[in-house]
């Protein structure tokens, strides 16, 4: 007797391929991922630019601190009553100033304005709107047994790209619009010791 081979039982047939809903869900998830990636890229670009601005401000800060350190005996002459840089009234030619401190402040103001590098007769050496302040935070006291040195604070301020916490130092307050959270500032202090004080 002839027998026919039996076919093993097959599972119920499924739809072959991918359904349209699965494709739409995948596209939606991919879209949100790409939007998140674009947002991250934007924040990274802003962070990189702010980092570059902070590096430029640090160069400006170091510049004047070194100038004061070289001319320590006249450190008090560097104190400014208003911010230097954008909007100040420094001479165009710094060689016309009469003292070393005045010349240093004039040259520093020009550097803050970006005059160290120009393109088509426009200053492009630093970011726009950079300002600097010099304040005395402690007066010298040569009284025997006290010997307290004079301390000066040098600050560089500039406008940031997005709001953060407002700086504690007040250099260039309200110079960058009504929102002081756009202002950035870095400071350092320089102490002028008293020779021979005991």
pLDDT at 126: 67
> How far is Cα 151 from Cα 193, in angstroms, rounded to an integer?
9
CA nearest to 153, candidates 99, 124, 190: 190
Tell me what pLDDT residue 179 has: 77
- State how far the Cα of 123 lies from the Cα of 161, in Å rounded to an integer: 20
Q: Tell me the domain boundaries of the chain.
A: 20-192
In the three-class reduction of DSSP (H, G, I as helix; E, B as strand; rest coil), residue 185 is classed as: strand
Specify the pTM.
0.73
CA angle in degrees (0–180, nearest 5) for 170-182-41:
145
User: What pLDDT sits at residue 143?
Assistant: 83
Q: Per residue in 41-54, pLDDT tens?
A: 887 887 788 888 88
- Would you state the pLDDT for residue 124? 59
- Between these two residues, 143 and 120, which has the higher pLDDT value? 143
pLDDT given for residue 107 in this prediction: 93
pLDDT tens digits, 75-115? 999 999 999 988 888 888 999 999 999 999 999 999 998 86
Cα end-to-end span (Å), the chain: 126
CB atoms within 10 A of CB 11: 5
The string over 12-34, giving b where at least 16 C-beta atoms fall within 10 Å of a residue's C-beta and e elsewhere, is eeeeeeeeeeeeeeeeeeeeeee
- More confident site: 125 or 101: 101
Query: At what angle are helices 100-113 and 20-70 packed, to 10 degrees?
Result: 170
What is the C-alpha to C-alpha distance for residues 156 and 134, in angstroms, rounded to an integer? 9
Band (164; pLDDT cuts 50, 70, 90): confident
Answer with the residue of higher pLDDT: 56 or 123.
56
């Amino acid at each position: 007797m002839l027998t026919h081979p039996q076919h093993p039982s097959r599972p119920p047939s499924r739809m072959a391929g991918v359904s349209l809903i699965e494709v739409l869900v995948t596209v939606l998830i991919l879209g949100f991922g790409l939007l998140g990636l674009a947002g991250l890229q934007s924040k990274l670009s802003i962070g990189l630019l702010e980092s570059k601005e902070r590096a430029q401000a640090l160069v400006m800060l170091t510049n004047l601190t070194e100038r004061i350190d070289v001319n320590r005996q006249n450190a008090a002459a560097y104190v400014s009553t208003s911010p230097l840089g954008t909007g100040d009234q420094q001479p165009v030619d710094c060689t016309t100033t009469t003292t070393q401190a005045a010349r240093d402040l004039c040259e520093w103001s020009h550097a803050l304005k970006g005059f160290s590098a120009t393109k088509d007769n426009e200053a492009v050496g630093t970011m726009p709107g950079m300002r600097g302040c010099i304040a005395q935070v402690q007066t010298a006291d040569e009284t025997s047994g006290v010997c307290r040195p004079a301390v000066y604070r040098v600050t560089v301020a500039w406008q940031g790209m997005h709001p953060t916490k407002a700086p504690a130092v007040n250099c260039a307050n309200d110079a960058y619009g009504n929102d002081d959270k756009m202002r950035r500032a870095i400071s350092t202090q320089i102490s002028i010791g008293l020779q021979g004080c005991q």
